[in-house]
Amino acid sequence: MLWQRTLINIKKNYSTISARVKKDIKIPEVTNLEMAVVYEYNDIYKTDDWNVYIINNKKVDLEMMVIVSQGFSDTKTTSLLRKKIEKLPANSFAKIELMQPELFKLNNRFQVSFFEGNTLYEKTFLFKENTLKEGALREIPELKKRGVLAK
């Protein structure tokens, strides 16, 4: 009986502490960061390719960036791809990966984590199924290329 009361007290204390800790956690909002899928000509292979870019519109460098991408639907899931960028300078962009058109029929999620100063940020970008197509291309000024933006 004593051990049951002790267990109940532990559960109550854990719930109280857990609620206090959650209340104190502040998750900062990510602004001025965009992701784009761009349709562009590849000079090396003489092909038109779809490439994924991350765009830093901030006035500060972003460090230790990790991007995890995955395609998914109700019935299919692709392998996880991971990409690390040590430093993405202020007002710049980086090509992340080549994207195969077969993936356009899936939802494509890109989870981005990075440090801005000493603060860790996280943002998820989602390109919904069947939204990546030539008819949806728009000029992306930062890249000076045509693509589809997810903010």
> What are the tens digits of pLDDT across the range 111-141?
999 999 999 999 999 999 999 999 999 999 9
Q: What is the pLDDT of residues 24-48, one digit of tens each?
A: 667 789 999 999 999 999 999 999 9
Q: What is the pLDDT of residue 18?
A: 59
Q: What is the pLDDT of residues 54-90, one digit of tens each?
A: 999 999 999 999 999 999 999 999 999 999 999 999 9
The Cα–Cα gap between 94 and 68 comes to 15
Q: What are the structure tokens assigned to 129, written together? A: 């199924």
Residue 145 pLDDT exceeds 80 = yes
For domain 33-150, which CATH number applies: 3.40.50.2300, 2.60.40.1600, 3.40.109.10, 3.40.50.1100?
A: 2.60.40.1600
Beta carbons within 8 Å of 23's beta carbon, 6+ residues apart: none
Three-state DSSP class for residue 16: helix
* Ranges of each domain in the chain: 33-150
State the residue for tokens 């784009």.
36
In whole angstroms, how far apart are CA 18 and each of 9, 10, 22, 140? Answer: 14, 12, 6, 44
Model pTM score: 0.83
